[in-house]
């Protein structure tokens, strides 16, 4: 127990956690191991994981097949630089991604994280227009309530007012923003939904390199779920005004919304796509930016003839093997049936939340369940209540949401749902 206390003391004194501070008073829990959909804490208690480790561990934890694949790769090499060298794991994973993603996407740029994948996409769009002698097209257009990451380019296209980055407003590149659509998933897209974005294109298309969107589901910016018809209209407007379309599928990709990629709900193909999170099943940090052959060739033919980006750990072999193994597991599983069952259970189970006065809205799509409250939650108060209930749910702002591993059984999913209802009843 002394070791347990000492570890937590060191953590509190020395370690930064996401969106926290050193020495913060917020509760922190020491994890010893994780198996399946259960996280075992150092004190011996177990939690049902409702977060998939921020939406990445879709197969759960400690999967024997993935463990074996990474162990085997370790015998050959854990890493080798990607400049001037290549290796089979990167080639095989790129080939799988090209086969799995929309037909127009034919080239793959690997990076370390989702934020960097977004940075790459933005640079790719700007360099594409530079290669076409249209260097005035440097701006990016997006919609409010977006979240694309924490690096500077990604921050610049996240919500400028209600997002998490207003502190840096004077140093962030000023981009163009349109109102987010109000049309819900099962509704048509009215002209009023698209007007704000359309006006930005009419007035500034000569300076806009690309539109970037989280397709169908806006993640950490508020978990808004909008109509596929809106995404269709955006694609049409991009074509009309000669602007590239970047889709950030980092949170929505690999089955989370009930389709392999969320853009499939609208039958839309982007010019550039970002993927990450579930790409490796939560085992390793890896992301990718995919684009068309035409964009890649244009960049090659322009000045300076190369794409100006190259991370040190680009296409790390261990991470690529994790990606190959995760995709093999996903495609070999009844993932669509599992996600549909999660969706049905979440819709039925979370609907009673609407009867509680603190609740503003309940929305579900695929393996995403969201309870929106009227006011922000007190994380220091609400987090221990979930842990006491034997579940791991991490609310933020005014949202209590779950995105569980696809392998979760009904009993564990019901336990997550019931814990949400119990906690809401105490607010």
Gap between the Cα atoms of 422 and 416, Å rounded: 10
Residue 420 DSSP symbol: H
Read off the pLDDT band of 361 (50, 70, 90). very high
Determine, yes or no, domain membership for 199.
yes
Q: Which pLDDT does position 2 carry in this prediction?
A: 55
> In the numeric block, which tokens belong to residue 229?
């018809």
Instruction: Convert the pLDDT of each residue in 310-327 to its tens digit.
Output: 999 999 999 999 999 999
CB 390 within 8 A of CB 384: no
In sequence order, what E strands does 55-199 have?
105-111, 139-143, 176-178
Determine, yes or no, domain membership for 214.
yes
232 in the same domain as 145: yes
Of 234, 308, 221, 324, the residue nearest 271 (C-alpha): 234
157 in the same domain as 131: yes
Read off the pLDDT band of 161 (50, 70, 90). confident
Where does a domain end: 305, 331, 357? 331
Helix-strand-coil split of the chain, %, nearest 5: 40, 20, 40
Gap between the Cα atoms of 248 and 211, Å rounded: 11
Instruction: Indicate the number of domains in the chain.
Output: 2
Instruction: Convert the pLDDT of each residue in 243-296 to its tens digit.
Output: 999 999 999 999 999 999 999 999 999 999 999 999 999 999 999 999 999 999
Where does a domain end: 331, 350, 377? 331
Percent of the chain with pLDDT over 90: 95
In the chain the first and final C-alpha atoms are separated, in Å, by 33
Mean of the per-residue pLDDT values for the chain?
96
Q: Which pLDDT does position 400 carry in this prediction?
A: 98
Determine, yes or no, domain membership for 135.
yes
Q: Is the pLDDT of residue 182 over 70?
A: yes
Pairing verdict, β 176-178 and 208-213:
unpaired
The per-residue DSSP string of 73-99 comes to HHTT-S----SS---HHHHHHHHHHHH
Provide mean pLDDT across the span 17-25: 90
Determine, yes or no, domain membership for 256.
yes
367 in the same domain as 285: no
Of 231, 194, 224, the residue nearest 368 (C-alpha): 224
Determine, yes or no, domain membership for 69.
no
370 in the same domain as 274: no
403 in the same domain as 377: yes
Q: Is the pLDDT of residue 1 over 80?
A: no
Catalytic residue positions, numbered: 19, 147, 248, 277
283 in the same domain as 168: yes
Read off the pLDDT band of 163 (50, 70, 90). low
Q: How many residues does the chain have?
A: 427
Read off the pLDDT band of 237 (50, 70, 90). very high
Determine, yes or no, domain membership for 71.
no
Domain of 43, in residue numbers: 2-62+334-424
Instruction: Convert the pLDDT of each residue in 34-70 to its tens digit.
Output: 999 999 999 999 999 999 999 999 999 999 999 999 9
348 in the same domain as 283: no
> For residue 291, what are the β-bridge partners?
107, 272
Provide mean pLDDT across the span 167-182: 94
362 in the same domain as 402: yes
Where does a domain end: 271, 296, 331? 331
366-394 residues labelled b (16+ CB within 10 A) or e (exposed): bbbbbbbbeeebeeeebbeebbebebbbe
Gap between the Cα atoms of 269 and 331, Å rounded: 21
> For residue 139, what are the β-bridge partners?
208
Q: Is the pLDDT of residue 207 over 90?
A: yes
338 in the same domain as 327: no
Q: Which pLDDT does position 185 carry in this prediction?
A: 97
Instruction: Convert the pLDDT of each residue in 93-137 to its tens digit.
Output: 999 999 999 999 999 999 999 999 999 999 999 999 999 999 999
389 in the same domain as 265: no
Provide mean pLDDT across the span 6-12: 93
196 in the same domain as 114: yes
In sequence order, what E strands does 8-52 have?
31-35, 38-41, 46-49
Determine, yes or no, domain membership for 302.
yes
């Amino acid at each position: 127990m002394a070791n347990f206390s000492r570890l937590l003391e060191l953590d509190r004194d020395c370690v930064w956690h996401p969106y926290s501070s050193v020495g913060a008073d917020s509760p922190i829990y020491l994890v010893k191991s994780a198996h399946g959909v259960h996280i075992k804490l150092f004190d011996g208690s177990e939690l049902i994981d409702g977060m998939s480790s921020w939406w990445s561990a879709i197969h759960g934890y400690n999967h024997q097949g993935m463990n074996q694949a990474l162990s085997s790769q370790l015998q050959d090499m854990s890493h080798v630089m990607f400049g001037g060298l290549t290796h089979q794991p990167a080639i095989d994973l790129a080939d799988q991604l090209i086969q799995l993603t929309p037909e127009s996407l034919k080239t793959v740029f690997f990076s370390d994280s989702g934020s960097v994948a977004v940075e790459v996409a933005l640079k790719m769009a700007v360099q594409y227009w530079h290669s076409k002698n249209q260097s005035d097209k440097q701006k990016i257009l997006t919609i409010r309530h977006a979240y694309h990451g924490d690096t500077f380019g990604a921050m610049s296209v996240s919500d400028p007012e209600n997002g998490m980055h207003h502190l840096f407003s004077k140093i962030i590149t000023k981009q163009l923003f349109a109102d987010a659509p109000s049309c819900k998933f099962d509704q048509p897209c009215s002209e009023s939904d698209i007007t704000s974005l359309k006006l930005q294109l009419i007035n500034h298309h000569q300076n806009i390199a690309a539109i970037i969107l989280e397709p169908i589901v806006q993640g950490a910016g508020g978990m808004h779920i909008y109509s596929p018809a809106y995404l269709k209209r955006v694609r049409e407007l991009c074509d009309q005004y000669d602007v590239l379309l970047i889709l950030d599928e980092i949170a929505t990709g690999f089955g989370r919304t009930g389709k392999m990629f969320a853009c499939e709900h609208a039958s839309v193909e982007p010019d550039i796509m970002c993927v990450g999170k579930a790409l490796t099943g939560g085992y390793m940090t890896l992301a990718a930016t995919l684009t068309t052959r035409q964009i890649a060739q244009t960049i090659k033919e322009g000045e300076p003839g190369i794409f100006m980006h190259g991370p040190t750990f680009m296409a790390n072999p261990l991470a690529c093997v994790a990606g190959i193994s995760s995709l093999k597991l996903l495609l070999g599983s009844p993932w669509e049936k599992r996600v549909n069952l999660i969706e049905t259970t979440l819709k039925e189970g979370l609907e009673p939340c609407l009867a509680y006065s603190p609740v503003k809205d309940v929305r579900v799509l695929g393996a995403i369940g969201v309870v929106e409250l009227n006011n922000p939650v007190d994380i220091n108060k609400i987090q221990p209540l979930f842990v006491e209930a034997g579940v791991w749910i991490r609310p933020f702002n005014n949202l209590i949401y779950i995105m569980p591993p696809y392998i979760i059984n009904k009993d564990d999913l019901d336990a997550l749902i019931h814990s949400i209802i119990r906690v809401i009843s105490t607010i």
